[in-house]
Amino acid sequence: MQNTITEKIGNYAFHNCIKITGTIRLPDTLKYLGDNAFYGCQKISGQFIVPRDLEYIGINCFKDVGFNKIDFTRNIAIEAILDNAFMNCKKMSGGLVFPSTLKYVGPNAFNGCEYITNIVLNEGLEFVGTNAFSNLKSYKDNN
Percentage of the chain modeled with pLDDT above 90: 82
pLDDT digits (tens, 9 = 90+) for 90-108: 999 999 999 999 999 999 9
For residue 111, the surrounding DSSP H or E stretch is none
Q: Are strands 80-81 and 56-57 parallel, antiparallel or unpaired?
A: parallel
What are the CB-based long-range contacts (under 8 Å, 24+) for 129-135? 129/83, 129/105, 131/107, 132/105, 132/106, 132/107, 132/108, 133/109, 134/108, 135/111
Distance from C-alpha of 38 to C-alpha of 21, rounded to nearest angstrom: 12
Q: Residue 48: what are its φ and ψ, rounded to 5°? A: -105, 110
pLDDT digits (tens, 9 = 90+) for 26-58: 999 999 999 999 999 999 999 999 999 999 999
Contact at 8 Å (CB) between 104 and 80? yes
Q: Please tell me the pTM assigned to this model.
A: 0.92
pLDDT of residue 1: 34
| Order of strands across the sheet that contains 32-33 | 8-9, 32-33, 56-57, 80-81, 104-105, 127-128
pLDDT band at 19 (very low <50, low <70, confident <90, very high): confident
**pLDDT mean over 82-96:** 95
Does residue 142 register a pLDDT over 60? no
Over the chain, what is the mean pLDDT?
Answer: 92
